[in-house]
Amino acid sequence: MSSLKPFYMNRELSWLEFNQRVLDEAADGTVPLVERLKFLAITASNLDEFFMVRVGSLLGSIRAGKSTPDPSEMSPLEQLRDVRKRTRRMSEDQYRIYLSEIEPELDAAGIRHRLPEQLSNEQREFLTQIFSEQLEAILTPVAVHDPNRFPLLMGRTLNVAVQLRNDSDDAPWRFAVIPFGRFAQRVITLPSDGGYEFILTEEVVGMFAARFFPGQTIAAAAPFRITRNADMAVSEDDGADLLEEMVDVLEDRKDSFVTRLEVAENVTEPLQQFLRSLLKIGDNETCLCPGPIGLSDLHELAEYSGREELTYPEWKPCDPPEFDASESVFETIRSGDRLLHHPYESFDPMLRLLSEAADDRDVVAIKQTLYRTSRSSPIVKSLIRAAENGKNVTVIVELKARFDEARNIGWAKQLEYSGAHVIYGVRGLKTHAKCCIVVRREPHGFQRYCHFGTGNYNEQTARFYTDLSLLTCNRDLGNDAIAWFNAVTGASQVQQFSHLESAPIGLREKLLQMIRVETERARNGDRAQILLKLNSLADPEMIQALCEASQAGVKVSLNIRGICCLKPGVPGHSENIRIVSIIDRFLEHARILYFHHGGDERVFISSADWMPRNLDRRVELLIPLLDPSCRKRALSILRTAFQDTIRGRELTTDGCYSPPQHRNAVPKPGQKRRIRCQQEFQQQALRNVESASTVSRTTFTPVQPSQVLP
């Protein structure tokens, strides 16, 4: 493969540009105020994970002496240098937006942050009681005599460092830490005469810190927070029990090296030096914060606001009209393939499929993959009930789903206890595919009902992630799904499928073949087009193939929400490639692929992004949409996403994103109507419901004699 540098952007820097686009929503005055606060908290949470995983990986590579450059020809040390520079600028932007824009506007709207010196006598008395009855009993100060023997501090939790004055001026300072641990309450509501007033828990601890150290003088106190490396992989080569290995990984994360220290900017120099010594870090890992530590916790404040006019108008998921509540979900799927668009359409048909299957006497088996689920998952509960009802239930629970490992371990144990057969993923790979198969005994034989999705089996995230669900009983897809599932669970060689493709076996080759077909057609002067909607694009081989297609004249349009390492518009490489990204109230998560294929259009949905990990180190699925109506609908969704002029941003050759037009601008005479695609999809879902309701009101349904009660 030739050098990719002219058209390949570093992955870490590309991800940071994605987080900047989210931060731009927090800075946009046309976005409702509390939603801006949420976007700000999301960027902080995203940055936490970036420091845990990506910065942790770079530091690990440097410590191991690795210097191999990435496809953009940057070494790990060069990447870390640029990442630090970019994250510092992003942190400065976050605090500028919060302190100079969002917080003053919250105050004007009656949501007021009160500092200790601004409290009324009533509020001080209230906090004295809160501290005495709650905080003093829960929190425990720990004196630090030897930094090497200090109790473990948890990552992403709040702490207050305390500098204690000695009796003589020449004696060394003494230090202590008040760790909050798992104490989660960050916002304390204050009594007030009007509006909503609050104070942060660490500010209350600072007010009463002296009560933790009677007889001692506090010279200074500062809240701080650490982020630890989480880039750890389970060793699967020694035959050890995978569940036990994952438990060990979770334990190892608790005391892994620190990748970032966030501390209040008014921290004294002695206190700052103490923390660096305690955590074994330097200046480069230290971030001085002019506002609240851990901006991700501002989600809690957003929940307290209670002001509808400060949030987006509610968009409730519509019940898909084709799934009649009075009709069995099996009957609905038998009548034809169904493609659902979440969260505009409810995830309930999938929940109904499993709930009905659990109790249906004719269902004999359920096969399911689980990557991420909710805390009280109705899907897992249905699987447990199905197993207890005597169904043959087999579940692939991916224990290596990052940051959901503990939850998945818990569900796996419950499923096993109920009698389900649980597979702990696949050795050496992550099972990221989204597939559910219900096998039902029917008059003509065993029928396979399948669900394929682009998103997780999580009814909570299905309310704010945009995803697609295909519900089908197509015989060929059902047979493929059974063969695929059995190959995964049986560790057997995957046979040739009729329609499906799976990573890491044939998916990469299938995608490259589809791109090459378009490339050859363009070279022959035929029409050629590729439309892709993905979350991330970073795989060098796929990027090279897309650039070769562009050079041949293929019109390539990419809708990439997050990481995009391909630079469009580079002369001689990517002139025919257009790349857009949409950041809006819902997280764009669906993967849709379209290839013109000489007019015999091919449309797919997939669980896989185009990253090396997805194509080479994960079990993924590519599902063709065989039903013409499903294919037409997916293509309409895909094309609409490229027409977004309100929330869409276009990637430029220099790796930056051009902002959309002003969101309140009125189209000039002759201009096309401005489009916000998520709003279009919501309105379309509402129109579908209304249309079905109208048909129902104007259609006469005769009652057959067998339906009349005797």
CA 597 to each of CA 218, 267, 527: distance values in angstroms, whole numbers, following the listed order:
73, 63, 9
| Both structure tokens of 390 | 């005597």
Set 113, 341, 342, 432: catalytic member: 432
Decide: residue 157, CB within 10 A, 0-12 exposed, 13-18 middle, 19+ buried. middle
- The helix (H) or strand (E) run that includes residue 593 is strand 592-595
Q: Is 589 tagged catalytic?
A: no
What span, in angstroms and rounded, lies between the C-alpha atoms of 241 and 88?
Answer: 41
Q: How far is CA 151 from the centre of its chain?
A: 32
DSSP result, 494-558: PPPPSS-EEETTTHHHHHHHHHHHHHHHHHTT---EEEEEES-B--HHHHHHHHHHHHHT-EEEE
Q: Measuring CA to CA, which residue among 370, 487, 480, 426 is closest to residue 619?
A: 426
- The helix (H) or strand (E) run that includes residue 69 is none
DSSP result, 303-367: HH---GGGSPPP-PPBPPTTS-TTS-HHHHHHTS-EEEEETTB-SHHHHHHHHHHHH-TTEEEEE
3-state secondary structure of 457: coil
3-state secondary structure of 635: helix
Residue position matching structure tokens 């700052």: 272
- The helix (H) or strand (E) run that includes residue 174 is strand 174-179
Amino acid at 1: M
Amino acid at 23: L
Residue position matching structure tokens 């249905």: 382
Angle between helix axes 76-97 and 33-50 (nearest 10 degrees) is: 160
305's CB contacts (< 8 A; 6+ apart) are 34, 111, 196, 311
Under 8 Å between Cβ of 330 and 359: no
460's CB contacts (< 8 A; 6+ apart) are 374
Question: What is the β-pairing status of strands 174-179 and 158-165?
Answer: antiparallel
Under 8 Å between Cβ of 573 and 602: no
Under 8 Å between Cβ of 221 and 209: yes
What span, in angstroms and rounded, lies between the C-alpha atoms of 683 and 689?
Answer: 10
- If one counts every other C-beta atom within 10 angstroms of the C-beta of residue 255, the result is 12
Under 8 Å between Cβ of 222 and 268: yes
Under 8 Å between Cβ of 295 and 98: yes
What span, in angstroms and rounded, lies between the C-alpha atoms of 425 and 409?
Answer: 11
Report the catalytic residues: 432
